């Protein structure tokens, strides 16, 4: 046998050994995973848990979530009841699909249900859970929420930033006017997202980051972040096997995006600290300015670090843009499918505004039917159909069952807001159900929870609602809206969903604007 043949045999032997090593590693990992699950099951005490569908080995009930978990979980609740106990991988999980149970939680057990489960993505993006959304319940979270509520998202701040909404909506209306004068249809999904990004960006950072094509540098980063936050992480469901996320490349993507966001925010913060504002801008502070001032206070009662500041900025931008754009997109889509409702809303707006060229804040207050349209859109298409998950901090007795500590909890808002026991004709879009109706979106009734409820209700709901009202009022005031194809019927408007951080339309909303002469 010549030397080349010997070398070939050695290489083949080494390759075979490598394959065997990988095979043995996989087998060992699988063995330890099954052994770990077996030990966990042995340690589980027999308690009176809520009903549960059958589980698969290793997966538990993960396979039953489907592409649209809010819909899949609604079907499970119809079969097993308002409380369903699942095991997602190794994670005990409770799904709540009843307004009565939600009311019991918020009234009697809110603190026990106010924690957040740990998440691989949230840990990396928010500097170890330093933000409002994902930080554990406690003194730090209470202090942070107080800052957001009083310093950033108060009614006073909403009023102060009205000029931003007015300027950006004027740009939006001018773009639509240009399309209308040429008889063109517009991609409203794209325009609404751009306007929402610009409003939030200017409120938070004092500027927008659009290029000549209307693309936002920071927006692109946060969209990448939004996709990664909801990406499947093995470590989130099998904590002992989080190392697999390194092999799949998820950790690398999370770290790369996190570093890019951090670099962007650091540069902005330094610019805010060093730049000198001229007299015209002196009284127009943005969120970065406000938080830098807060950081200098000695009586906060907790450590508000640089990482805390950056985490809050990320929270504000992601929650503000996704929610606002999603609600507006669904609301206009529903109006396009219901022309009678659209005409009624337009008639109210145009009567209130009269011959004025501009809608102001005092006008918006008088538009009760417009608010009913928005509320109905929030009912039928809640931006977060399952809200952010919570986690029990102790064992709780709920609805006659025992809920173990460290149980992940999902409130299926989508199912509750379509419950036929509460809502008449729940699948239909009927804004009139909110007319002369005291229910608001603050979660107090427990059957209308688009922004959550209890201690962990979204603190930015009023800020978002102000933008939603103003953008929608202007689009309905200035234009009549038609389907892009004259042969299309109203019911042809595509309403299919896509899941991300917010529930969005799967396909862009394209309509033809006709400038209103009044």
DSSP 45: -
Least-confidence region, from 19-28, 187-196, 213-222, 346-355: 19-28
Kindly state the average pLDDT of the residues 58-72: 94
Kindly state the average pLDDT of the residues 125-134: 96
pLDDT of residue 3: 41
Which positions make up the binding site?
458
pLDDT of residue 55: 95
Q: How confident is the model at residue 42 (pLDDT cuts 50, 70, 90)?
A: very low
Least-confidence region, from 300-309, 402-411, 461-470, 495-504: 495-504
Question: Percent of the chain having pLDDT more than 90?
Answer: 74
Sheet holding 186-187, edge to edge: 186-187, 510-515, 479-482
Kindly state the average pLDDT of the residues 192-220: 84
Top-confidence residue, 280 or 102: 102
Kindly state the average pLDDT of the residues 407-411: 97
Least-confidence region, from 22-31, 309-318, 366-375, 412-421: 22-31
State whether residue 393 is helix, strand or coil: coil
pLDDT tens across 136-163, in order?
999 999 999 999 999 999 999 999 999 9
Q: How confident is the model at residue 7 (pLDDT cuts 50, 70, 90)?
A: very low
Tally of CB atoms within 10 A around 58? 13
Kindly state the average pLDDT of the residues 110-115: 96
Please state the domain extents for the chain.
18-44+61-515
Determine the Cα–Cα distance for residues 469 and 162; give it in Å rounded to an integer: 12
Among positive and negative, which fits the CA dihedral 322, 257, 242, 29?
A: positive
Mean residue pLDDT across the chain? 88
Which positions make up the binding site for heme?
458
pLDDT of residue 425: 96
Instruction: Tell me the fold of 18-44+61-515.
Output: Cytochrome p450 (1.10.630)
Among positive and negative, which fits the CA dihedral 311, 315, 317, 322?
A: positive
Interacting residues of 248 by C-beta distance below 8 A, sequence separation 6+: 234
Determine the Cα–Cα distance for residues 27 and 388; give it in Å rounded to an integer: 35
Q: How confident is the model at residue 279 (pLDDT cuts 50, 70, 90)?
A: very low
pLDDT of residue 441: 74
pLDDT tens across 249-268, in order?
999 999 999 999 999 999 99
C-alpha 16 chain-centroid distance? 48
pLDDT of residue 18: 47
CA distances to 259, 349, 424 from 433, in Å? 47, 19, 9
pLDDT of residue 462: 92
Least-confidence region, from 72-76, 161-165, 299-303, 447-451: 299-303
pLDDT of residue 355: 87
Least-confidence region, from 83-87, 361-365, 437-441, 447-451: 437-441
Q: How confident is the model at residue 44 (pLDDT cuts 50, 70, 90)?
A: very low
């Amino acid at each position: 046998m010549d030397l080349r043949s010997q070398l070939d045999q050695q290489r083949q032997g080494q390759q075979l050994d490598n394959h065997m090593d990988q095979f043995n590693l996989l087998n060992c990992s699988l063995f330890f995973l099954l052994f770990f699950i077996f030990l966990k099951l042995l340690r589980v005490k027999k308690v009176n848990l809520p009903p549960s569908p059958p589980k698969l080995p290793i997966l538990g009930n993960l396979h039953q979530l489907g592409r649209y978990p809010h819909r899949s979980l609604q079907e499970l609740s119809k079969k097993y009841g308002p409380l369903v106990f699942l095991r997602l991988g190794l994670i005990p999980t409770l799904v709540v699909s009843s307004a009565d149970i939600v009311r019991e939680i918020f009234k009697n057990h809110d603190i026990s249900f106010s924690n957040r489960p740990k998440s691989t993505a949230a840990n990396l993006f928010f500097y170890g859970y330093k933000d409002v959304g994902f930080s554990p319940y406690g003194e730090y979270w209470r202090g942070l929420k107080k800052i957001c509520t009083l310093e950033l998202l108060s009614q006073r701040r909403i009023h102060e930033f009205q000029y931003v909404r007015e300027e950006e909506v004027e740009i939006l209306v001018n773009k639509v006017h240009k399309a209308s004068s040429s008889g063109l249809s517009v991609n409203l999904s794209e325009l609404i997202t751009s306007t929402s990004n610009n409003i939030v960006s200017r409120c938070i950072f004092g500027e927008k980051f659009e290029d000549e094509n209307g693309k936002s540098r920071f927006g692109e980063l946060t969209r990448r972040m939004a996709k990664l936050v909801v990406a499947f992480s093995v470590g989130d469901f099998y904590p002992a096997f989080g190392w697999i996320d390194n092999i799949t490349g998820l950790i690398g993507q999370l770290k790369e995006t996190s570093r890019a966001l951090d670099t962007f925010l650091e540069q902005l913060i330094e610019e805010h600290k060093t730049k000198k504002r001229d007299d015209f801008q002196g009284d127009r502070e943005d969120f970065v300015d406000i938080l830098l001032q807060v950081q200098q206070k000695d009586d906060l009662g907790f450590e508000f670090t640089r990482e805390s500041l950056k985490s809050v900025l990320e929270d504000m931008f992601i929650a503000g843009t996704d929610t606002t754009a999603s609600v507006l997109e669904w609301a206009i889509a529903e109006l396009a499918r219901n022309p009678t409702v659209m005409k009624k809303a337009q008639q109210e707006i145009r009567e209130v505004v009269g011959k004025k060229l501009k809608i102001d804040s005092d006008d918006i207050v008088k538009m009760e039917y417009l608010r009913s349209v928005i509320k109905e859109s929030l009912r039928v298409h809640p931006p977060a159909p399952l809200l952010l998950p919570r986690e029990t901090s102790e064992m709780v007795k709920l609805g006659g069952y025992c809920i173990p500590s460290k149980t992940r909890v999902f409130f299926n808002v989508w199912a509750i807001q379509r419950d036929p026991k509460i809502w008449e004709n729940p699948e239909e879009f009927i804004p009139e159900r909110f007319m002369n109706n005291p229910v608001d979106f603050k979660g107090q009734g427990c059957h209308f929870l688009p922004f959550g409820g209890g201690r962990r209700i979204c603190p930015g709901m009023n800020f978002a609602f102000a933008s939603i009202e103003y953008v929608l009022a202007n689009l309905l005031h200035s234009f009549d809206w038609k389907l892009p194809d004259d042969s299309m019927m109203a019911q042809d408007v595509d309403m299919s969903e896509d899941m991300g951080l917010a529930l969005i339309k799967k396909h862009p909303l394209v309509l033809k604007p006709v400038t209103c002469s009044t």
